[in-house]
Chains A and B, each alone.
Chain A
Amino acid sequence: MKILVCISKVPDTTAKISFTDNNTAFNTSGVQFIMNPYDEWYALVRAVELTEDGKGETTVINVGPAANDAIIRKGLAIGADKAVRVDAEPKSTHQVAEEIANYAKDKGFDLILTGKETIDYNGSELGAMVAEMLDQPYVSYATHMEVEGTTASIKRDIEGGVELLEVDLPAVVSAAKGMAEQRIPNMRGIMMAKRKPLETVPASAGAEHVAVKSYELPAAKGSVNLIDAENMDELVRLLHEEAKVI
């Protein structure tokens, strides 16, 4: 079985968010980057579980500049067999999806996995776009997945219950919590990652149709107004007249 896992680079969850260039670009100075946890903990680990010990081959793919190689190596240290980096600055989901689809279309992958979303832009769009471009079925938010021959059995959480699906392969699936458990790479994996192939391919996507006009930060938290417990009337008045919630 051949699996392609899409991994992206995101700011560490503790990063302070600000923007530059007239609020049209994320300010990366001083920000630590990590592999998107949904890609790493769930999509990649499940792919490795399904292909390790000679059962198949996992490839990780990232669309981005050479600085992303550190995160790609981590993917190899966790257990992917090889890696591809499409040498392009990621600007929109459509562009990234096109790069991934262009790479994957003649490689015969049985499965393409993504995380359910990235923790920065939270779009949840990439998998669906890749599936559409490759004319393959797509299942989102999978919490469990087994593969038997050319069929994947998938569970996904739905409002008030669990949905069980069977999907013909090849297919694209986005992974949510539950699909696998985080694997911390060990020293052996880190040393092996150095010798695994990391191929760079040139960008091929066409024109862009979406451009970011600007970003806004949520309003800063205001100060807290404490009302004495004895003074219920004042509290009701403020909630009514100032906060306008009752």
Chain B
Amino acid sequence: MDTTATSAPAHHRSQRTDNYAGHDYYGVDELLTEEHLLARDAVRDWVKQEVSPIIESYSDKAECPMHLFKQLGDIGAYGPSLPTKYGGGGMDEIAYGIIMQELERGDSGIRSMASVQGSLVMYPIFKYGSEEQKMKYLPKLGSGEFIGCFGLTEPDHGSNPSGMVTNLVDDGDAYILNGAKMWITNSPIADIAVVWAKDPEGKIRGVIVEKGMKGFSAPEIKGKLSLRASITGELVFEDVRVPKKNVLPEIASLRGPLSCLSKARYGIAWGAIGAGLDCYDSALRYSLEREQFGRPLAGFQLQQKKLAEMITEITKAQLLAWRLGSLANKGKATSAQISMAKRNNVAMALDIAREARQIHGGMGITNEYPIMRHMTNLETVLTYEGTHDIHLLITGHDITGIQAFS
């Protein structure tokens, strides 16, 4: 795969213009700073220029637009809220959320590229890594020179990661790593993988596995009907010798990977609003232009009900995300609060995609419009980073004190 190209080849470009305009029914923009708005407009411009013209083609062919990894680094989409010293952007959590929203407005797969790199690879190295590990990996990950992936899920352990079987055996100055990870975003193209495995004492440790280590392979998972512009694979470890200096020293429990997931889920709570907004924007435009029975579709009560409910749900999701962002800026957002926002906002976006699909009639099933792509993408978003069900059980646990999922 070509990782050096800086732009998409011509056969992936479409002439369609992206007329997206944001929607802000409750004036949430007034709650944002100048810096947030600048970040939002910059990423929106970038998406219109670099993502919208090519995304249908890449998604259709199930190819990953590799040239965008570097560009995402250039605009500063990897770890925007990490310190600049370590390749981040030094911004606040709301800026991070807004960037994810604009990326996902383009495509959930593009947002996933950025989420995984920033929140699941850079964040654990930043939070739990040694100074040497930080200096070695973070600047290169932040610029997009390195691509990273995050291995937690296993073939037999999805919602239940604590049951993982991937393990480390002590071998002097190294560990011997065995096991397999499944459904790993970016794995076939990654330079490094942050892998979670059990040490001889049964504690969950994070290790940095580098491409090319003997016994390590990352085959691609084909046939995905969702998130098609994002590449997904396995991680297979057969007696891989991982030097002890590649172990993240500051963490030895499931709290490690879960804290990364909290960070990424927070971004998804914002990101999903972007996908919902794009579907709503397209449906509103289409229903005003398309006439049946001598008037615009938007003039029929049934269609107005759909549109009015969409903007109501979007507005609620925007307020939820903004409040969550304000809590996160003070370091006060709990993982249960993040679960609630991720669950609500992703389901909201998926519902909107389905309704918007109907408003577009037959045109809605084609790739002339972004609706079906968002809809199928959101099926993954509903499941990864904690399924819709599990997040509900997290809220249930939080309010009753009784854990119902194991």
Chain B residues 36-87 with CB under 8 Å of chain A are: 37-39, 41-42, 45-46, 49, 74-77, 80, 84
Would you call B42 and A185 a contact (CB within 8 A)? yes
CA distance A191 to B42 in the complex (A): 13
Chain A interface size, under 10 / 10 to 19 / 20 to 34 / 35 or more: 10 to 19
How close is B368's CB to chain A, nearest CB, in angstroms?
21
Pick from B37, B38, B41, B75 the residue with the most CB of A within 10 Å.
B38
Would you call A77 and B19 a contact (CB within 8 A)? no
Would you call A188 and B38 a contact (CB within 8 A)? no
Would you call A193 and B45 a contact (CB within 8 A)? no
Q: Residue B89 at the A interface, CB < 8 A?
A: yes
Nearest A residue to B96 by beta-carbon distance? A187
Contact partner, A187, options B41, B45, B49, B99, Cβ 8 Å: B99
Would you call B46 and A187 a contact (CB within 8 A)? no
How close is B222's CB to chain A, nearest CB, in angstroms?
34
Q: Residue B10 at the A interface, CB < 8 A?
A: no
- Count B interface residues, CB 8 Å: 23
Could you give, for residues 53-90 of chain A, a 1 whenever the CB lies within 8 Å of some chain B CB and a 0 otherwise? 00000000000000001100110010000000000000
CA distance A184 to B42 in the complex (A): 6
Would you call A74 and B38 a contact (CB within 8 A)? yes
Would you call A184 and B49 a contact (CB within 8 A)? yes
Would you call B34 and A70 a contact (CB within 8 A)? yes
Given known contacts A191-B89, A191-B90, A191-B91, A185 and B19 CB-to-CB distance under 8 angstroms: no
Would you call A190 and B42 a contact (CB within 8 A)? yes
Could you give, for residues 1-40 of chain B, a 1 whenever the CB lies within 8 Å of some chain A CB and a 0 otherwise? 0000000000000000001010000000000001101110
Could you give, for residues 184-209 of chain A, a 1 whenever the CB lies within 8 Å of some chain B CB and a 0 otherwise? 11111011011000000000000000
Nearest A residue to B33 by beta-carbon distance? A194
Which of chain B's residues have a CB closer than 8 A to the CB of A187? Answer: 39, 42, 75-77, 80, 89, 91, 95, 99
Pick from A77, A184, A187, A190 the residue with the most CB of B within 10 Å.
A187
CA distance A186 to B42 in the complex (A): 7
Could you give, for residues 212-241 of chain B, a 1 whenever the CB lies within 8 Å of some chain A CB and a 0 otherwise? 000000000000000000000000000000
Which of chain A's residues have a CB closer than 8 A to the CB of B84? Answer: 188, 191
Q: A185-B38, A185-B42, A187-B89 are in contact. List 6 more A-B contacts (CB 8 A).
A: A73-B38, A184-B42, A184-B75, A187-B99, A190-B39, A191-B90
B→A interface (CB under 8 Å): 19, 21, 34-35, 37-39, 41-42, 45-46, 49, 74-77, 80, 84, 89-91, 95, 99
